[in-house]
Structure 1
C-alpha cells in the first residue's frame, strides 16, 4: 500500500495542495473529504477478538481506520519466541484483512503484546513482520489530508503502583528506554509543517486515560511523562493523541487551550471503540466530535 493518499477536493484546494505537498498524491485509494471533514474509526487492544472486530467494522463508515496496538496476546516471556511470532503474524494479518473489507486506508502500530518485528523503528534488530494492506507506522510521519499528518510510536513502558513495578513494558524495559524512543523516533516525526495526530500505544502521564483504579484503592500508572512533555511542547501542532494500552481508561482528556485532546477508545476486547470527526476551517484542522462507542 502506498504511503499517502489522494483527495477529491474542489479546484482551489487541489491547486494549493499540489503546490505544497506533491508527495501526497500517489495512491490506489481516493478519499472524498466532504466540506473538508474526515471521519476516523479508532480501535485498539483487539487481543485477537475477531468477531467483535468484525461487528465494529460492519457498523462503521469511516474515511480512515486507525489501530493503536495490541493485536495479539503474546505473554511477555514468549514475546521473542519464533513459534509465537509466526502465530502473531497470522493473527495480525487476519485482523487487518477484516478491517480492509471497508476498502479504506488503514494505519496501525504495535502494542506491548505484539512481536518486535512489528515495530518499524526496530527493523534493524528484528526484521520486518511483513503485514500487508495496512500501513505500519513508527518510523516516519504520514500525510493523510491537506495539512494533516500522523506521527506514531508503538509499545509500552513499565507501569507502576507507587514505586512498585506492576506491568513490564515492551519493547521498552525501562522508562528511560521509552524516553529515548520518543526522543529519537517520535519527536523527529513532528518536524514538518502542518498539524498532527499522535498515535501511540501508551499515553501521557497527565491523562486519566492512562490510569487504572483498582477496587482496593491502588492506582496503576501506565503513562509516560516524556510523552506528556512532548504534547505540551508541541501543543500548537498536535491535534489529538490517540492511545490504547489501559483497557479501562476509556475516555477523553483535554489539555492546553482545551481544543487539544487525549483519547483512549478502550479495548475491542471489552467491546469498546471510538469515532472521531475532524473538520478543517480556514486551513486549520480541529476535533469536531468524539464518540465513544460500545457494541
Structure 2
C-alpha cells in the first residue's frame, strides 16, 4: 500500500496511473482491514510556511483550502449500513493515513536551523476536520509523513499522531494496534533507523 505525496506524479492523484502488481494506491480511499477496522487515506500536501513566507509549495494542492473538499468528503462520507464494503460503518475504528500531518501537531513542525523560525508543514484544514466530535470518536490514529525531520508522536484530542520520519533519511516506524473493549487502539509505536 502507498499514499502519494508531494514528490509523486499527478497521475497518482487523478487515478490515471497504471496499476502495478503488488502496489495499491490508497489515495482518497477506504480499505477494510478487519470487520470493525478501516484504513482511510489521503495523499498530497499543502504549502509550508516559515513565519509569513512560503517555504515549500503544496502538491497537488496550491493552498490549504484546496484540500478541504477531498478530505472532508472522504472523512465525513455517509457511513455504510454494514461492513460488507470498505466504507466505514458507525461502530468502526478508523486508522487515518495521510501524507501531510495535522497543522497543530509537533510531527508537522520542523526546525533545523535554531536561529530561524520553524517551518509549519502541516495542514490546518486536516487539523480542523480531525477536531470534529464524530471523527474524534472514530479516528484513533493518524500516521503521516511529509515533514522529514519532525518524526515522533503527538496527540490531537483523542487521536494519536505518528510521523515515523522519511525512509530517505533511514527512518521508518512500526505500529502495533489492538482491539480492546470493542474499539481499536494503538498498543505501541516505535521509530527505527536503518
Same-fold call, TM cutoff 0.5: yes
User: Deviations along 1:167-192, whole A, 9 cap, x unmatched?
Assistant: 01110011111222212344428763
Taking a change above 3 Å as real, the CA distance of residues 134 and 231 of structure 1, as seen in their structure-2 partners, is same
Correspondence 1:239-250 to 2 at 5 A:
239-250=140-151
Deviation at 1:118, TM superposition (A): 1.1
Correspondence 1:274-285 to 2 at 5 A:
274-285=173-184
Q: Which runs of 4+ in 1 moved over 6 A?
A: none
Report how many residues are paired: 182
Structure number with the higher helix fraction is: 1
Q: Distance in 2 between the 1:139 and 1:212 partners? A: 26
Aligned alpha-carbon RMSD (Å)? 1.6
SS at match of 2:126: helix
What is aligned with 2:119?
Answer: 220
Is residue 73 of structure 2 the alignment partner of residue 175 of structure 1? no
Structure (1 or 2) with the larger CA radius of gyration: 1
Is residue 3 of structure 2 the alignment partner of residue 109 of structure 1? yes
User: Deviations along 1:69-113, whole A, 9 cap, x unmatched?
Assistant: xxxxxxxxxxxxxxxxxxxxxxxxxxxxxxxxxxxxxx2110100
Worse-superposed segment, 197-206 or 223-232: 223-232
What is aligned with 1:192?
Answer: 89
Is residue 131 of structure 2 the alignment partner of residue 232 of structure 1? yes
Correspondence 1:1-295 to 2 at 5 A:
107-119=1-13, 122-123=14-15, 127-188=16-77, 192-193=89-90, 194-215=92-113, 216-233=115-132, 234-257=135-158, 260-295=159-194
Deviation at 1:135, TM superposition (A): 2.0
Structure number with the higher strand fraction is: 2
SS at match of 1:288: strand
Deviation at 1:263, TM superposition (A): 0.4
Q: How high is the TM-score relative to the length of structure 1?
A: 0.59
